[in-house]
Amino acid sequence: MDRATLVATILAPLSTHAVEISSLPAAVEWVQIRSDIAGDISAEWLRNYFSGKLLYSLRSARSGGEFRGTQAERSKRLLAASRYYDLIEFEADSDLSSELLELIPARKRLISWRGPAQAASRLKSLFEETAVPAHSYCMISNAATTSDGLQPLLLLNELQRRDLTAFSEGPCGLWSRLLAPYLGAPFLFGQVNDNGRLGGELSVHQFVADYGFPALRPVRKVFGMVGNRIFQSPSPRLHNAAYRALNYPALFLPFHVESFQEFWRELVESPAFCRLGIPIGGFVMVSPHKEAALAVAAHASEMARKAGATNVMVCRNSLWEAHTTDPESISAIPRDGTLKAAVIGCGGAGRAVAAALQQAGVEVTLVNRGRERGVYASGLLGLPFMLLSEFLGRNYNLLVNATPVGKNNDCLPFDVDSLNRNTTVVDLAYGAKPTPLVAAVVARGGTAIDGFDVLLTQVRKQFQILSGKKMPDEIGREMVLNGNPGRCGSEEGHLHGDTLHAMEAC
């Protein structure tokens, strides 16, 4: 199989002219109507707007849906839909009655099972118990931990069927949904819009732009991002686009991790992942796991050791190495003895930036909202520390915001009016638009380095460490904005004076 079958799931009533469907990527072959939420929609009407195939689902409450009617009502609606829809979802624990099986032919049945995380052996038994003749089958478990996603993939790997889709749902299981097509799962289910992204539900648009679906390129190694606030990151789009451009057989996945110890023990060090035949090559580490990751590394770079944190882990010769690209955040800043810098935020990124500035001979002061982490960073680096409540920007000509404040366009990390006109501000936070800090600095006529420029600099370095290759130059800001490489109308670079680099400029 060299293509996955993209399925767009409708989770709300459609607009009058079904613009939600007409705006779908051309690669979408199926539309799934969740009739328990969107209501029963005429298949004949849908075909006016969609030329592909239609899947009817009436998800019950016991399977995480909204239908709470009687079984008789349920059977009546499934039977009515089967006259016009191409495929009808049967729930394995309720819909396999002889009546429905007699009236709905096997070619129109999708048999699904949903439940808690199970070992692959148990999933196999459940599948064998419910595998009546059908067009296709789905085994979907709820992932409570990141390693839960391994089990349905091990099932796919063992059975080697081309009519079985198996993965784990939920933030911790999203990575398994994305990897499943490479192990034979025919269907890849995605939402019509991005409303579920924070909960680990991606849209079909993201499947295409971030992961290159429906094409299934050869994948011989997995890389990924590890953290618990990762689903809005553009890193998967950038890394995967570079793999495609270089014809490099790898896939970059999002690993939502609550417990780093569990993730490392049960997934990274587990022999089970090796059984899939796609070894893990490395990770980009984000908050809050940068310190815990450093502790498990066999080797660490000098800067990672000094900062007490890592944001890149790579496996070489079966040993894990820890690196940090956070110092790249200030790579464009001339560093000399005339600079007085303040680094706001004493997490792993802030400590690495402060260490790089310190190494270059810059006078550095650490600033943090809380005292405990600030004192820890101060002792680790031998740098002075002050509380954010005591901070005055006018005393510095370089300021680095290493906190997430402003990433969601929420607020400013400090009073911008306290800055001198000649202060250069580097904001590590980024979002769909310039952060409030960047916008405020530029509005005052100051100089700001946008968080997206910082991100791209770091991603390029991370890509080189992980793959050993240079990321193509055309992979940049436009790739994040519209999924296509190449230049756009505005010039890439830093924000200077009144030339605000609005994210929607392209």
One-letter amino acid of 41: I
431 has pLDDT over 90: no
One-letter amino acid of 349: A
Q: Tokens for 379?
A: 């002792």
- Interior angle at CA 103, CA 99 and CA 109, nearest 5: 100
Helices (H), 276-370: 290-296, 302-307, 348-359
Query: How many DSSP H helices and E strands does the chain contain?
Result: 19, 21
DSSP state letter for 472 = P
In whole angstroms, what is the distance from residue 84 CA to residue 91 CA? 19
407 has pLDDT over 80: no
6 has pLDDT over 60: yes
Domains of the chain: 5-216 (3.20.20.70), 334-455+492-505 (3.40.50.720)
In whole angstroms, what is the distance from residue 421 CA to residue 235 CA? 33
Residue 71 CB coordination number (10 Å) = 11
In whole angstroms, what is the distance from residue 410 CA to residue 77 CA? 46
pLDDT at 200: 80
pLDDT at 334: 67
Q: Return the SS3 of 479.
A: helix
In whole angstroms, what is the distance from residue 41 CA to residue 165 CA? 25
Helices (H), 342-476: 348-359, 371-381, 436-443, 451-467
In whole angstroms, what is the distance from residue 215 CA to residue 408 CA? 33
pLDDT digits (tens, 9 = 90+) for 14-50: 998 899 998 999 999 999 999 999 999 999 999 999 9
411-432: average pLDDT: 83
Least confident of 178-187, 366-375, 421-430, 466-475: 421-430
Contact predicate 313/223, CB 8 Å: no
- pLDDT band at residue 491, thresholds of 50, 70 and 90? very low
Residue 494 CB coordination number (10 Å) = 15
Residue whose tokens read 């293509």: 3
Least confident of 276-290, 332-346, 349-363, 486-500: 486-500
Which distant-in-sequence residues (6+ apart) come within 8 Å of 233 by Cβ?
A: 225, 254, 286
In whole angstroms, what is the distance from residue 231 CA to residue 253 CA? 10
pLDDT at 464: 97
457 has pLDDT over 70: yes
pLDDT at 499: 27
337 has pLDDT over 70: no
Sheet of 28-34: strand order equals 164-169, 136-142, 109-116, 87-91, 53-57, 28-34, 5-10, 187-191
Element (H, E) at 34: strand 28-34
Residue 468 CB coordination number (10 Å) = 11
- Check residue 448 and give left, alpha or beta (phi > 0: left; psi -120 to 50: alpha): beta
DSSP state letter for 429 = -
pLDDT at 429: 84
468-485: average pLDDT: 78
Cis before 214 (ω within 30): yes
Say how many CA atoms lie within 13 Å of 49 toward its Cβ: 17
Contact predicate 413/405, CB 8 Å: yes
498 has pLDDT over 50: no
Comparing CA positions, the residue from 396, 415, 414 lying closest to residue 405 is 414
- pLDDT band at residue 410, thresholds of 50, 70 and 90? low
| pLDDT cut 70: percent of the chain above it | 92
* Average pLDDT value for the chain: 89
Q: Choose the catalytic residue: 76, 124, 290, 470.
A: 290
Annotated active-site residue 76? The verdict is no
Q: Tokens for 1?
A: 């199989």
- Where do the DSSP E strands lie in 143-204? 164-169, 187-191
Contact predicate 56/87, CB 8 Å: yes
In whole angstroms, what is the distance from residue 268 CA to residue 262 CA? 9
